[in-house]
Chains A and B, each alone.
Chain A
């Protein structure tokens, strides 16, 4: 029997993390770490594809691209050029819930980064010619991540089937015809809706001081006026009343399979138990799925888990069956494993193992300033308080075998699932 891991918060050094809220409502979180002369500065806007409507799906992501195409002080191309000249680099990402802007740079360039970010948040320019060119870029991104990717296409189909009403129905990148049709007015309306300082959390981790970040925030970010955040997402996904099955037929070497179950949002008290359950299923080569699907030679690969989400989401299984294996066989193997989790409590040693894996995983995610900036922001937004990161180990530790069994029974029912199968063209379709 292996004992519990050290759960003292020696690593979750809280003393070097501080926060301040600007007069305009923007929350600033700072973690000092002077080990390398660099900084990770992240801006999390609470706006994503869940805030969109049919006809303009993908606009959050398109807007993310437009944020690099010129503002008042720094014109087209100048944001990236100035970043490069100062030794910095950047990226951005859009999810169903969030649009995140990420800057990494030498600490000497700190003030310049504030100037760059404030300029585009306050005074973004909307040049019609650039809008058209960037539309092509986003369409290319869709072609790469969805249209020419079997996994991407199957995933899009599975989500659209599992979610009928809630905005998680549509893809973050947007439907192709919406990408072709967004207008300048759509972009401006989106900016008006989501880019309020009071709708943003800024996190700076690295070679900075709290006082300096607060001072620069007051100078550059605080003058940006607050306005209404996006309206609440009203539509709730109705409870699923029966299994949904869908197939995608296209040229492919091997079939592919996704099984989705509706599960609750990140803040739901069942989430930690679901995370432990996912580790029992999919944590390493001793996990239940690896043994039942991969080691048994039914599948090339098998994975399970759910993403962190503001609204109720899905727990997904993704399986690549071996050649010659009927997807019905891999599907059955997944159901057999779920039935075991429902019938019997996970043995104590196996539960301990899953928790150990999760705790070490947490430590591993704290190695870089970039990961820590990301985690602090995610905890602030998804769990309502970044300090919950410092007690994440206790949340995991508190999950019991009975909790895991209870959530297995509650969510992994036939009525609650969607099964999406990619059937290689010219093979017999077995729905």
Chain B
């Protein structure tokens, strides 16, 4: 359970969300991404391949982080959503705010 950060050779940071992204742990994710942003990273992929569920607070933190990254001229992409999570993004129309790919590899290739 938790968040793992890896950096590819081109400097894109992939954040893996293991377990859940909810009201109780969203601040950890926020801090990790903001620290990386502060450290100069501008391209992020949030990888949900190992994510069980996301609540509305989790969705909210992604919206907020995406804005902050964009303000610095960067981009935050989402990848690896299962069918239920993809539906959640579609219902809330958040699929219109994010670039979403099936796999983290596709997200990386698109940068």
Q: Do A and B come from one complex?
A: no
Interface of B toward A, CB cutoff 8 Å: none
Query: Residues of A with Cβ closer than 8 Å to B?
Result: none
